[in-house]
Structure 1
Amino acid sequence: MSETLEYPFETLPAEGATLEVAPGVHWIRMPLPFALNHINLWLIEDGAGVAIVDTGFGLDATRDAWQRILAEVGKPVTRIIVTHFHPDHLGLAQWLSELTGADITMTHGEYLSGHAVWHQLGGYGTAPMVAQFRRNGLDEERCEALAQRGNAYERGVPSLPTRYHRVMDGERLRIGGRDWEVIVGYGHSPEHMSLHCADAGILISGDMLLPRISTNVSVFAVTPEDDPLGRFLDSIRKFKRLPVTTLVLPSHGSPFRNIGLRVDQLIEHHDARCAELLAACEVPRCAGELLTTLFPRPLDTHQVMFAMGEAIAHLNHLERKREVCRSVDSDGIVRFVKSQ
């Protein structure tokens, strides 16, 4: 196995245009209003039409780009596939469905999670998130900034579907005369869907495998002692069964090959993060105190949300492995200390 990732495409798709990455599979790159400034979306030729995989954040620029692309393609949309509920993926699904008449396909967990976050239900809202971060030692200034930010999800997902086609792990979608296997992964989101086409040698990985950055793995307030990192690592290990020649189409960054190497790199990365946290927990420490251990750079409010979720996820994973113990002191703060 090569010791480097292979990037077969030297150029990026122009804004509002497509770039063919394999026969019948086209790459689209759309803007995001964050430090991570883009998302990759995909068009798959499907007989006389095209299938869309992921839809982009709810921005006017993205709507305009979709209208230009669909006019240029000049074919009907047969289906809209959403890998997971995050706003850069689900954001314009309902709008595109209304525009094209195509139905939306996603997993049950992602559909319900999108509704829970959008409507701030069942422990998925801003207030429970801020309360969780406060219990884990985030300073009051940052907690207040997150509270004032409000429901950012609703801004990225202006409207939600009220019906969808449900798919489950191991099912096959027939697109363009080829079978695409649904591979459900966990940790980044509840039931993230990747799509593997063995005939084409392609994996649409969504956010489960990214070439240059690590996927965010966070603990939700509704499941404060959960171990999403453990499930994420178990999920990506399963990708190692795919051929080394598989072309991975990620949601961020450029398409790449050498899937097994990337899985190993990500496992090593998270092992190193856990080791740093374990070394810092010789005395009881909370996630808020450990943010600078994992993220020494300055963080904006949006990044603090992900950073806190990730810090808690790594500490929970260490607890699940019995390498640290959890305690709640008289001040109500959750702390972790290295096991004796």
Structure 2
Amino acid sequence: MSIAPAVRLPTQDFAPTTHKGLIYPFGGQEPALGETMSVRPGIQWVRLHIPGPLRHVNCWLLDDTDARGDGVALIDTGMNTDSARDAWKTLWRGPLAGVRVTRMIGTHFHPDHIGLAGWMCDRHAAPLVMTRGEWLTARMLVADARDAVPSEMIAFWRGAGWDDAQIAHAEARGWAGFRKIVTPLPLGYSRIVHGDTLTIGDVAWQVIVGSGHSPEHACLYDPVGAVLIAGDQVLPRISPNISLGVTEPEADPLGEWFASIARLKQVPDDVLVLPGHGDPFTGLHRRLDAMDREHRERLDELAVFLAEPRRSVDCFGRLFRRAIGPDMLGMATGEALAHLRRLEVEGRAVRETIDGVWWYRAL
């Protein structure tokens, strides 16, 4: 796909702030609970609380028209929690009263982004729009929900170096967590692929698909309005989680993510980036370069650390700046394994299995 150049349009009258070379044009202002905030003509910002360290997720409303008349296309929804449902109900009673969702667009399958997608589709008789990889993954995780943790998962945790107490803690949480925080998705959906043009209202949005954080994450780019709806592919202050998981243990998610960064660098640097978490910003290329550099530096440090054989759990201190507790253990393990797998793919490390535990050493 040839990505068209952007045309700059003025932002609203906010005092911008800067941090590490990025410009935040709205100066830290954000929509309050039960309110929306305009970021460009025809684009409204909604921020919802989510549990965990990220604390919030951003959702975007784009002016749209379909056969039934005017409305908004909704991009992402927040998690299926009482607080998120209440926030949307407050919005539909207040600033969004009488506003209909014409289509429900999910950037990727993670529950903080599509947790209420099915609920929205039912409420507004709106079609669901996603990439095939994201929709199928969500459907698979819901269908696979069960009480007991599968033996393959326990073997995966043990291979990563978890001890008996850590495994027991995870087993106690069960295997139905995803289904509990996602409303049932429609049986059918409208597929988007990389290179598609999605006309929303009078704007032609280009679909840019990346992977690494999730299988086929969709970003939307408006070259005329100079806006990139980035989801979790580009976050302003943290790097998205890049994990290797039990469903595809020989994958190379970090390699895929590096390739996605290169693809996104085709988008002009001066676009307004609307991320899934954090504040809108400009300075896309600086942020892409920083994320790329950060992970390559971690790989180099890890390669040195593997002078002696290590398990993935032994590598946390080289990859993360804080202690990893039980609630973050799964994500930390997945990210450590993604880096170790990348070193294998690059021919810089090798894995050996001893008594069911994976040991990595540098070559």
TM range (shorter): over 0.9
For 2:74, what is the secondary structure of its paired residue? strand
Aligned counterpart in structure 1 of residue 128 of structure 2, from 77, 80, 104: 104
Q: Counterpart in 2 of 1:336?
A: 360
* Cα pair 1:105 1:164 within 8 Å, conserved: yes
Displacement over 3 Å in runs of 4+: 125-130
Aligned counterpart in structure 2 of residue 236 of structure 1, from 247, 261, 283: 261
Q: Counterpart in 2 of 1:58?
A: 80
* Cα pair 1:83 1:89 within 8 Å, conserved: yes
For 1:6, what is the secondary structure of its paired residue? strand
**Cα offset, 1:237, TM superposition:** 1.5
2:310 is the counterpart of 1:293: no
* Cα pair 1:187 1:232 within 8 Å, conserved: yes
Structure 1 CA distance for aligned equivalents of residues 166 and 20 of structure 2 = 41
Aligned counterpart in structure 2 of residue 202 of structure 1, from 218, 227, 247: 227
Report which of the two has the higher share of helix: 1
For 2:73, what is the secondary structure of its paired residue? strand
- 1:260-271 → structure 2 map (5 Å cutoff): 260-271=285-296
* Cα pair 2:155 2:356 within 8 Å, conserved: no
Aligned counterpart in structure 1 of residue 42 of structure 2, from 3, 17, 24: 24
1:70 partner amino acid:
W
Q: Counterpart in 2 of 1:116?
A: 140
Aligned counterpart in structure 1 of residue 239 of structure 2, from 185, 205, 214: 214
* Cα pair 1:136 1:288 within 8 Å, conserved: yes
**Cα offset, 1:301, TM superposition:** 2.6
Q: Counterpart in 2 of 1:37?
A: 55
**Cα offset, 1:335, TM superposition:** 1.2
The 1:304–1:240 alpha-carbon spacing in structure 2 relative to 1, beyond 3 Å, is same
* Cα pair 1:138 1:289 within 8 Å, conserved: no
The 1:205–1:7 alpha-carbon spacing in structure 2 relative to 1, beyond 3 Å, is same
Structure 2 CA distance for aligned equivalents of residues 192 and 248 of structure 1 = 16
Over residues 31-81 of structure 1, what are the superposed CA-to-partner deviations in whole Å (9 max), with x where a residue is unaligned?
101121100000001142111000110011111211222332222211000
Structure 1 CA distance for aligned equivalents of residues 202 and 151 of structure 2 = 47
Structure 2 CA distance for aligned equivalents of residues 161 and 291 of structure 1 = 39
Structure 2 CA distance for aligned equivalents of residues 96 and 158 of structure 1 = 9
Q: Counterpart in 2 of 1:272?
A: 297
The 1:178–1:296 alpha-carbon spacing in structure 2 relative to 1, beyond 3 Å, is closer
Structure 2 CA distance for aligned equivalents of residues 179 and 78 of structure 1 = 16
**Cα offset, 1:313, TM superposition:** 0.2
Q: Counterpart in 1 of 2:173?
A: 149
Report the identity percentage. 40
Structure 2 CA distance for aligned equivalents of residues 235 and 118 of structure 1 = 27
Q: Counterpart in 2 of 1:160?
A: 185
1:37 partner amino acid:
R
* TM-score of the pair, normalised by structure 2: 0.89
- 1:241-260 → structure 2 map (5 Å cutoff): 241-260=266-285
* Cα pair 1:138 1:287 within 8 Å, conserved: no
2:47 partner amino acid:
R
Over residues 238-279 of structure 1, what are the superposed CA-to-partner deviations in whole Å (9 max), with x where a residue is unaligned?
111111210000001000111000010001110121122111
1:29 partner amino acid:
R
Over residues 310-338 of structure 1, what are the superposed CA-to-partner deviations in whole Å (9 max), with x where a residue is unaligned?
00000000110001111112x12111111
Structure 1 CA distance for aligned equivalents of residues 155 and 181 of structure 2 = 23
Structure 1 CA distance for aligned equivalents of residues 240 and 20 of structure 2 = 21
Structure 2 CA distance for aligned equivalents of residues 50 and 92 of structure 1 = 16
Q: Counterpart in 2 of 1:192?
A: 217
2:142 partner amino acid:
W
Q: Counterpart in 1 of 2:25?
A: 8
The 1:189–1:127 alpha-carbon spacing in structure 2 relative to 1, beyond 3 Å, is farther
Q: Tell me which moved more, 203-212 or 289-298.
A: 289-298
Over residues 195-231 of structure 1, what are the superposed CA-to-partner deviations in whole Å (9 max), with x where a residue is unaligned?
0011111000000000001110111202112110000
**Cα offset, 1:128, TM superposition:** 3.4
The 1:16–1:127 alpha-carbon spacing in structure 2 relative to 1, beyond 3 Å, is farther
- Number of residues of Structure 1 aligned to a counterpart in Structure 2: 335
For 2:229, what is the secondary structure of its paired residue? strand
* Cα pair 1:127 1:147 within 8 Å, conserved: no
**Cα offset, 1:119, TM superposition:** 2.2
For 1:241, what is the secondary structure of its paired residue? coil
For 2:102, what is the secondary structure of its paired residue? strand
The 1:127–1:257 alpha-carbon spacing in structure 2 relative to 1, beyond 3 Å, is farther
